[in-house]
Homo-oligomer: A and B are copies of this chain.
């Protein structure tokens, strides 16, 4: 416990977290600080390219162990399954409509790549290795949750039919294509390729992540300011409970699959994290009746900061106790 708190503390005073806090504070104080859309998009492209590439390189060096396929399958199952659990919890804990509940559930089945990145940098900070192909698992987990959500809505007769073309849109979503593409480039060019571009994708990575989290904080803060009263206590409770539930399930999956300590932590983080970029856009298309400020407030305003600050260190501590090492 002691240990967890100290790690959480150390984690809290990292430039990354503090940058997020700065953005959050600035937005809540109604400062006019903003980061241009093009710059924010540029940073996310950089982060996806870098994280994918490094994952690929890791695979090219450590080679593909048999757990790769299992991990991908586990990711798929988690992404399909977690929304069902989330939906059930939401029905119990909140008064959200079927459609809103399903839309929120989709976000928690999918993943937040920035949370994933934050977890990897915590692992690096403590010199804990992890399977490079976990970025591929992250990619695999992005979309399936959306299908589960649509199924939940259809089941309760609330429309939400699978819009034609939506499926390929989801699979060819820019961030998935970039993440997976960079992963393969890294896997093909390996250490040598990394040597060529590491001054770009490795050295400045954390700094860029700071500015990106500043932006995330600004957006989260703006959202919180505007959605006052939109989400009740129950929903907020869900947004903190669900990551814990997800992490535990992710822990189980990671152990079953036989991942390393680092891999288990990442699997927990992926399961615990909620999407706030790809899924919201998909929901506007597939479930327009769902209220965006509900799912954005919960995933970006509550769950994201929770994972960033307390969640990740907690998952790491738990994994260390159970996996050992």
Task: Point out residues on A near B: beta carbons under 8 Å.
Answer: 13-15, 18-19, 22, 25-26, 29-39, 41-42, 45-46, 49, 53, 168-169, 172-175, 177-178, 181-182, 184-185, 188-189, 193, 196-201, 203-208, 210-211, 214
Q: A36 near B29 (CB under 8 angstroms)?
A: no
Q: A207 near B211 (CB under 8 angstroms)?
A: no
Q: For chain A, what secondary structure do more than half of its interface residues adopt (helix, strand, loop), or is it mixed?
A: helix
- Residue in contact with A35 in the complex, picked from B42, B193, B197, CB distance below 8 Å: B42
- Distance in Å: Cβ of A214 to nearest Cβ of chain B: 8
Nearest residue, chain B, Cβ from A174: B33
- How many copies of this kind of chain does the complex include? 3
User: Do A31 and B174 form a contact, CB below 8 Å, given A15-B193, A18-B185, A196-B14?
Assistant: yes
Give the distance in Å from the alpha carbon of A169 to the alpha carbon of B31 in the complex. Answer: 7
User: Do A197 and B210 form a contact, CB below 8 Å, given A26-B181, A182-B22, A185-B15?
Assistant: yes
A208 neighbours in B (Cβ, 8 Å): 200
A172 neighbours in B (Cβ, 8 Å): 26, 29-33
Q: What are 23 residue pairs bridging A and B, where the CB atoms are less than 8 Å apart in the complex? A: A15-B53, A18-B185, A18-B189, A22-B178, A22-B181, A22-B182, A22-B185, A29-B177, A31-B173, A31-B177, A33-B174, A35-B45, A36-B37, A37-B38, A38-B38, A42-B42, A46-B211, A49-B210, A197-B206, A197-B207, A199-B199, A199-B204, A203-B203
